[in-house]
Amino acid sequence: MTTTTLMSPVDVLLLAGEIGSRTLHIGALLVFGPSPDGTDTFAADAYRAALDATSAQSALMAQPVLSFATAGLPTWQPAERILMDRHLRRLALPSPGGDDELFALVARLHETRLDRSRPMWEGYLIEGLAGGRFALYGKIHHATLDGMSGIRMIEQSMDPDPQRRGMPLLLTPDEPEPTSDHRSRNPLRLVRDGISGAVAAADIVRHTAIGALDWLGKGVTTESTALPLSAPRTVFDGKVGPDRAFVGKSWPKKRLRAIQRATGATGNEVTLAMCAGALRSYLSAQGELPSKSLIALVPVAQRRREEAIGGNEFGLALCTLGTDLADPRARLDRIRHSMADAKRRVRAMGSSASMLASVPSLLPNVARILPLGELLPPSYNVVISNVPGPKSPLYWNGAELRHMYPLSIVFDGTGLNITICHYADRLDFGFLANPESVPELERFTDETETALGDLERIQEVRST
């Protein structure tokens, strides 16, 4: 983002959605192996060098601006320079720090809002992990970019070559910053952009109306299509406080691929089935499993991973999870039919129209923030996202990136968010929750492993 640009309606909504203690940033926890040379100052030296930088990747330079200079229109404007010590900090766990301590620290860091007076991101170098490991946790406002763009930005900051050295701390500018161009801030140009956007909006509204009618028609004829206000009430759907709980966990891709071969399902559908099985078991153990199936809100990417360079390009789908079904195969089949219908509709409408058509789905959950908002039945119970990541292992100055745990958003009406990053030969799950909505989050992750085992037993599936 090298010039002043008009904010999209999605960006404006994401910025406006932060009310009170609610936060709308996303993040990632990167866990690295020990330094290749065995020195204790490896990460610290890179941190001190990073503090001298005054620019970064373009997405990290963008800041929201609303002023007379922008004709009163909300825009993204690149910062001329950044003070790195305002964005990048260094922390340490009492050595030797374990994963539980790391996840607890990251949960606390994920609770606080980002400062809007500067580019909206923060990074933390975390040392003291057992075995000489270190970690980087970063968060950035969702209005700035989506998860796919964030993972792509991380990928571009590292290298598949373990021998490469001299790499800065994930802050390399992706292109030279241009000299100041006052024409880029011309209010008349921004107004013209706004008019062009309004013309394009007419086409979006048309696609939205067609898609909504198709959605309602399908909902009358099939149980796989989830409609707004049709989700059961669960412990996940109430108001959330500022506290967060986070757990990261990984599974080998080969286990899921064996299930895919045996059932014909996609990787996304298998991960949804894993989560569905965990939800069923977790709620059953508490005596709180509804007789009606839970529904997931599932972002659907509208571009390839290689094209994700910033902004938000995704649609939203409601998926029936089949948690009312005891048989894992029947549950997977329900998910497959539901996602096939939802993806067809999202792709036919496009991301903007899909987002607009999803507003009736989002409002009942978001309305939990209001005094009487809980009187409305929810439209979904959990958010589950799949984010494609690097297909090969990555290194930073020879240190191996072992895990890419994603963190997303919990909000009123959405007390549990599960985001999955596909990295190398594994799937890194990031479980983020409101502790009051999901007590004992670690037990929920254990149920996810049990659910995967149930799926592996379908037709004698083996992971070999």
Q: 176 preceded by cis ω (within 30°)?
A: no
Is 142 in the active site?
yes
Tokens of 127: 């040392």
d(CA 82, CA 118): 8
Spatial contact of 455 and 273, defined as CB atoms under 8 Å apart: yes
Looking at residue 195, its amino acid is: I
Q: State phi, psi for 448 to the nearest 5 degrees.
A: -65, -40
Residue whose C-alpha is closest to residue 301's, from 311, 291, 288, 287: 311
User: How many C-beta atoms surround the C-beta of residue 463 within 10 A?
Assistant: 14
Q: Are 456 and 463 within 8 A, CB to CB?
A: yes
Q: Exactly one of 87, 141, 142, 403 is catalytic; which is it?
A: 142
CA 298, 302, 305, 310: dihedral to nearest 10 degrees?
-100
Catalytic residues, by residue number, are 142
